[in-house]
Amino acid sequence: MNSAEENSLIGEIVDDHTLLTVEELCRLCAVDRTYIVQLVEEGVLSVTEIQATEWRFAGATLRRARTALRLQRDLEINLPGVALALELLEQLEGLRRQLNSERP
């Protein structure tokens, strides 16, 4: 393998309409299943659909899960704090969108 092949990145495009299984979400976030279950139990992530015994998550959940992981890892925030921080970040983002849409 040459240097360019070793440094190449492989990515997946996930839009808001994509449904992800728990395993896919775990793989894309590089975490184990118990972490995702904890995020759901704490209210950080919402299950979009339940098929038989399998949870499904909207594609937008991937961004939220990765943000939660960074908050917990980088800032050492516990799960209730992560849930609160994500809620506040989303409110801030909504207010910014509203402000930008009201500008002439």
Question: Which SS3 state, helix, strand or coil, does residue 3 take?
Answer: helix
Q: What is the pLDDT of residue 10?
A: 55
Of the CATH numbers 3.40.30.10, 3.50.50.60, 1.10.1660.10, 1.10.3720.10, which one belongs to the domain with range 14-102? 1.10.1660.10
- The size of the chain, in residues, is 104
Range list of H helices, 12-59: 22-29, 33-42
**Single pTM value for the model:** 0.69
- DSSP reduced 3-state for 52: coil
Strand order across the beta sheet in which 49-51 lies: 19-21, 54-58, 49-51
pLDDT averaged over 10-residue windows placed end to end, the chain, 104 residues: 54 69 90 93 87 82 92 93 94 94 81
Res 84: pLDDT: 95
Residue spans per domain, the chain = 14-102
* Cβ-defined contacts of 10-14 (< 8 Å, 24+): 14/59, 14/62
